[in-house]
């Protein structure tokens, strides 16, 4: 145990000293980071109160429905943390140079496993923790909860909830790596992806939001009761339901019933962690060795094959463009973490597209609900786009590595190099954005489809350039792991800026969309004049953000390296 605390202590110290302030530029980066984090936390705090106020007093959904909707959101959040930890844990447990170093020291593989698991949990979830903590504080302030209640919710409810998701993720990873000794990894990934699809389908089949709203509204106006009979029995055993039930009873002041869910959450989180540690003790080192052997065999097969993208093949492109283009594509496809993460994100996008039609129709009889639902789908579309940009575009500069000086000394301008690198990702991301836009708007008029499609194309381009620019400003040429780069402080700031941009878009589109749907209900006509000015404002800001981000990023690379 002393070894674990010793390593964790110095990892914490190295993290705190990761961005020392040596000059004015370093100070400006640190100050800018603090302002973005603080501003976003304050914004989330007040936004949470505004949303709760609107749902309870304007829409009048009642406490029970509020917490059941929150439970659904927490279920999706649970799966996101779970899948995220599978991906990040694979990268840090099986592809990390630090693990290779520690295994040469008198430290047992089990202790390394525990250290890296905790490192993954806090490192990759830090930004999300900030957002959720600010939201919990806003929730507590709205319902006038005491400081002790808020601390209890954070320490004994929310953190254990996340810990269960993370522990389950690393447990699944260990089983995947154990089974991959006999079955190819790609087949296991296919089966696991199908399992997550089935799980999502069954969850919404069993716990239908539409059915729940219909049943609860039969008791109007007594909507603050706890309708236990309306919650499917199996849902009551899920951690997301424990979390929201605990919040519900805390708001009503029934602390004895809330304590029951604190107990469930903490107990299960500890059991999951100890089970993960037990499996790590049994399987981690063996699976680590097997992964090295599998990697060597894969490299041997690749070396013996004729490549579809080859530098010897003739091309109509200029030599500089051809080299940069082929190098970027080959670097990407030869990195398993990149390919697996891309496939999982595309898989999530596919699930979202399949379920789009039903979500878009939700609340069409009530204009306010239709506007909220439309903007929810719209914001989730652009959130997926921003996630793709942050995950794959932000690391571009850092992945050049410490040999970047060779690139700078070549007879090609850095500006041209990064224009080509960004273009490789810009085109597919815009295509994905158009697919999302079409499937979420296909039940509306063709003119609305075209307008929103154009709008989302500019927004997608802005996200790509914002992440490219921020990736250059916060470049870390010593880090070779793309997943850790996209989980760094700079990536977190880029993510928060993207969320602020999304919030701005929602704020500027809410009233025009409400008026558009109101007129559509009264006259049957879509009057797009309501959206012209807001769309123009968003497009202008997107273009400005793209230009400024790219210019600042290139300027940073030219003087920092």
Chain segment 221-251, per-residue pLDDT in tens: 777 778 878 889 999 999 999 999 999 999 9
Tokens at 425, concatenated: 């990702």
* Mean pLDDT of the residues in the chain: 82
Residue 98 confidence (pLDDT) above 70: yes
Residue 66 confidence (pLDDT) above 80: yes
Please give the angle made by the CA atoms of 486, 488 and 490, to the nearest 5 degrees.
Answer: 95
pLDDT band at residue 360, thresholds of 50, 70 and 90? very low
Choose between 548 and 16: higher pLDDT: 548
175-219 pLDDT, tens per residue?
Answer: 999 998 888 877 887 888 888 878 888 888 888 877 887 788 787
Sorted by sequence, the CB contacts under 8 Å of residue 140 that are 6+ apart come out as 149, 150, 153
pLDDT band at residue 316, thresholds of 50, 70 and 90? low
Find out whether 541 and 500 touch, Cβ atoms under 8 Å. no
Where are the domains positioned within the chain? 65-127+145-292, 322-561
Find out whether 437 and 356 touch, Cβ atoms under 8 Å. no
Nearest Cα residue to 167 out of 126, 114, 130:
114
Nearest Cα residue to 311 out of 300, 322, 295, 302:
322
Choose between 46 and 364: higher pLDDT: 46
Tokens at 197, concatenated: 């699809």
Name the DSSP letter for residue 233.
G
Name the DSSP letter for residue 335.
-
DSSP string, 63-132: HHHHHHHHHHHHHHHHHHHHHHHHHHHHHHHHS-HHHHHHTTTT--HHHHHHHHHHHHHHHHTHHHHHHH
Nearest Cα residue to 422 out of 454, 398, 392, 400:
392
- CB < 8 Å & 24+ apart, contacts of 238-242: 238/75, 239/78, 239/161, 239/164, 239/165, 239/264, 239/265, 239/268, 240/71, 240/72, 240/74, 240/75, 240/77, 240/78, 240/161, 241/71, 242/157, 242/161
Task: List the beta strands (DSSP E) in 180-333.
Answer: none
Give the dihedral sign, CA 303/308/311/314: positive
Top mean-pLDDT range of 95-99, 262-266, 322-326, 483-487: 262-266
Q: Is the pTM of this model over 0.85?
A: no
9-52 pLDDT, tens per residue?
Answer: 656 665 555 555 555 666 666 676 677 777 778 888 988 998 89
Mean pLDDT of 296-305: 52
Sorted by sequence, the CB contacts under 8 Å of residue 172 that are 6+ apart come out as 82, 86, 192
pLDDT band at residue 361, thresholds of 50, 70 and 90? very low
Chain CA centroid to CA 5, Å: 30
Residue 125 confidence (pLDDT) above 80: no
Name the DSSP letter for residue 545.
H
Task: Give φ, ψ of 482 to 5 degrees.
Answer: -65, -35
Please give the angle made by the CA atoms of 305, 310 and 316, to the nearest 5 degrees.
Answer: 155
Nearest Cα residue to 231 out of 260, 259, 209:
209
């Amino acid at each position: 145990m002393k070894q674990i605390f010793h390593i964790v202590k110095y990892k914490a110290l190295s993290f705190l000293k990761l961005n020392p302030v040596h000059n004015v530029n370093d100070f400006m980066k640190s100050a800018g980071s603090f302002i973005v984090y603080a501003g976003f936390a304050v914004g989330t705090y007040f936004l949470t109160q505004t949303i709760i106020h609107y749902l309870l007093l304007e829409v009048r959904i009642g406490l029970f429905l509020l917490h059941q909707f929150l439970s659904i959101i927490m279920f999706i959040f649970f799966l996101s943390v779970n899948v995220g930890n599978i991906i990040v844990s694979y990268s840090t447990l099986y592809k990390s140079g630090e693990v290779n170093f520690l295994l040469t020291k008198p430290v047992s593989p089990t202790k390394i496993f525990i250290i890296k698991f905790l490192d993954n949990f806090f490192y990759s979830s830090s930004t999300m923790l900030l957002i959720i903590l600010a939201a919990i504080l806003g929730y507590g302030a709205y319902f006038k909860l005491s400081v002790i209640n808020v601390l209890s919710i954070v320490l004994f409810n929310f953190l254990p909830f996340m810990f269960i998701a993370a522990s389950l993720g690393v447990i699944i990873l260990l089983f995947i790596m154990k089974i991959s000794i006999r079955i190819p990894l790609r087949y296991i990934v296919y089966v696991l992806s199908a399992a997550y699809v089935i799980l999502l389908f069954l969850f919404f089949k069993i716990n239908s939001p539409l059915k729940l709203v219909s049943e609860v509204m039969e008791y109007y106006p007594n909507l603050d009761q706890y309708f236990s009979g309306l919650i499917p029995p199996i849902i009551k055993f899920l951690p997301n339901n424990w979390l929201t039930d605990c919040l519900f009873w805390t708001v009503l002041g029934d602390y004895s019933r809330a304590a029951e869910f604190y107990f469930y959450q903490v107990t299960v989180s500890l059991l999951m962690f100890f089970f993960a540690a037990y499996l790590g003790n049994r399987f981690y080192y063996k699976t680590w060795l097997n992964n090295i052997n599998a990697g060597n065999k894969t490299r041997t097969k690749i070396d013996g094959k004729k490549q579809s993208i080859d530098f010897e093949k003739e091309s109509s492109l200029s030599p500089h463009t051809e080299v940069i283009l082929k190098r970027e594509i080959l670097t990407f496809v030869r990195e398993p973490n990149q390919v697996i993460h891309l496939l999982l994100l595309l898989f999530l996008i596919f699930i979202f597209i399949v379920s789009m039609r039903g979500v878009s129709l939700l609340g069409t009889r009530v204009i306010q609900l239709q506007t909220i639902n439309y903007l929810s789908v719209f914001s989730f579309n652009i959130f997926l786009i921003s996630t793709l940009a942050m995950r794959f575009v932000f690391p571009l500069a850092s992945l050049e590595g410490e040999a970047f000086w060779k690139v700078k000394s070549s007879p090609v301008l850095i500006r041209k190099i990064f224009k080509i690198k960004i273009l490789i990702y810009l085109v597919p991301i815009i295509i994905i954005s158009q697919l999302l836009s079409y499937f979420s708007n296909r039940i509306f008029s063709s003119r609305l489809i075209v307008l929103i499609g154009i709008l989302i194309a500019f927004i997608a381009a802005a996200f790509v350039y914002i992440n490219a620019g921020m990736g250059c400003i916060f470049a870390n040429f010593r880090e070779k792991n793309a997943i850790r780069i996209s989980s760094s402080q700079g990536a977190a700031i880029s993510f928060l800026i993207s969320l602020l941009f999304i919030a701005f878009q929602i704020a500027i589109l809410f009233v025009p969309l409400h008026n558009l749907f109101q007129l559509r209900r009264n006259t049957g006509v879509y009057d797009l004049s309501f959206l012209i000015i807001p769309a123009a404002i968003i497009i202008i800001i997107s273009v400005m953000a793209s230009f400024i981000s790219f210019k600042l990023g290139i300027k940073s690379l030219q003087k920092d390296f």
